[in-house]
Structure formats: structure tokens, C-alpha cells
Structure 1
Amino acid sequence: MAGRRIRFTAVLVAVVFSLTGFSHGGHGSHGGKSSSGGSSGGGCSSSKKRSSYHSTSDNNNNSNGSGSGKSTPSPTKSARPPAHAQVVSCAGPGSPKAVLTVTSDVDTARTVDVPVTFEGASGVVDRTSVRVTLKARETQTVTAAMVHEDKAAETRTCVVGRID
């Protein structure tokens, strides 16, 4: 009677492993525990099943850092830029500067660098950055002077970059 129970249990375990996508062949990097407490080297048998079968404990026990199945942290409020800017007027012939409005998007005073790219018909003509100190939710009008003033006549558009 005990022999039948052992065989039944072994068959049941094999069926459960085959239905959940786990194999005993050392594929994958989950490092599941064997009955003796060591790592069995088992893992998911196909990448499709691997991507759909991950629990939090699988991600935390993945000690070799192979990467598949790890969760990506969600963005936090600090990932948002502290300010935004708009071009009021762009550089051009006789005017080697751009006029910008810069608005704080945070509830504290901040000093930010606003990158500006001056573009012409054949691409980037010049780049500069202007440093602005803003109070909470304040808007200021600032001037961003070109580094190479002699290229003002080539400028067609001014583009504000990401403010950090």
C-alpha cells in the first residue's frame, strides 16, 4: 500500500510540474528548492511560460541576476521634471538669442538648467543652457544667448530640452 502512495505522489508531482511549465532539466535560473534543501536547478521550460509564471518569491530568490521576470519599479514623483519651458522668440538674423518662459512645476524653490538647441536647415547650429532660480510654481521670462553668435542667421528653430 505504501508503494502505491509513493508512486501516486511521484506521478502527481510530475503532472503538476508539467502543467505549470517546470522541468527538472536545469533550464532557467529560478533555483527552486529540492527536498534536501539544495538548489535543484529547475526552471521554466519555455520563455512564454516563464513570462507568465512569476510570483514575488520567484523574483526575490533569483540570486544570479539573470533579469527575466524581474519587476521594474514604477516611476516616482521625482522622475517628473521640476520645470518646463516654452520658446517665446527664437534666434535669427541679427538676434543671437532665444527668449523663453520657464515655469516651476514643484512646490519648493529650485535652480534649474534649461537646455536650448538652435537648429538650422542642415541640423544643429548651436547649443546653450540657461540657469534659472524659480520660487514654487513661479514663471520667469529668460534669455538664452547663443554661444556662437555668428551662426544666428542660420537658425530656424529653437528647441527646449529636458529640464533636470
Structure 2
Amino acid sequence: MFRKKSTESNNELRDICRIFKHIRDSVKDIEVKSLALEIMLYNAFHFQKDYNYGQSMINALKNLEVRLNKMINDNQFQKISNPAFKNDLIKTGLENVYEVKDLITLSTLVLKVIEACVLNEKEFHGLKRKYKALSDLNKDFTSSLIPENKTIISGGVFGGDQVNED
């Protein structure tokens, strides 16, 4: 399913997963499991032909934040269902609401890093693995799109909190 969705989107789903996991691995205090993160991004990613590459990634990150907020509101964040087998529950590695909120902050950081790399024509490989706390790394990246101390949605730039439930 993942491969099919990624192929339909010209690997945009695979790319956002790789970028997100690389940045997650650059932060020493986030413990979300890779499979759970891939499933969350899979569920948040909706391919639309009229979106360009960057817009698809922004929408995936926006949808991820909405879904994470829903997980917090429902108090259902320790396990996520496998899209291939709905009754198969995958442990997320998230133990409390604060860890889910850190994942929302990480999602915002991913967008800031993408923006910084695009504007400065740099590659993501410049981030060292496990080198800073999330709060410290977040301070290192500013955004012309997202105001300081805001998230992708609360910054208001990308519009409301609607999720495309395909």
C-alpha cells in the first residue's frame, strides 16, 4: 500500500518520510517508532494531481498535525492501527500527551528545515544524528512561513484544521 501510494505521488510520500525520519534522528529526545511514524505520514498524505511537490508535503505535515491533535483529544496515541490490517495495532512509542505535542513541534521543525534547505540550496544531510534536544534544534531554524512558537496550523499560514479523509 505504501509503495503504491508513493509511486502514484512520484515518491513524494517516500521523500517526506525520509526527511521526517532524518530530522527525527537528529533530535535526541523524540522516541516515536519508525513504523508508527510512516503509518501516521501515510494516513496524513493525500496525493492530488493539482498539487506540486512542495504543496503535497506541506499538506501531509498539516494533516499530520490535525491527526496528532485528534489523538490527543481522544487520548489514543500509544497505538495506531495498521492501514493494511485495521485490527493490527502498532505501538507508537509515545507514552504521554507531552510526547505527542513534541511530535507536533517536530513536524513544524521538519517544515522549517525544508524551507531553510530550499532557500539556502542545502541538503538535509548536514544535520548530524542525535545531536540536540528538540527545543534547541527548533531555535536554530526560523521560518518566514511560521511565526515563532507556532505550529503549522496555529501559525495560520496554511489554513484551518481540515483533514481530507480519503
Report which of the two has the higher share of helix.
Answer: 2
Please indicate, yes or no, whether the TM-score normalized by the shorter chain is above 0.5: no
Question: Which structure is higher in RCO with an 8 Å CA cutoff and minimum separation 6?
Answer: 2
Larger fraction in strand: 1
**TM score, norm. by length of structure 1:** 0.18
> Of the two, which has the highest radius of gyration?
1
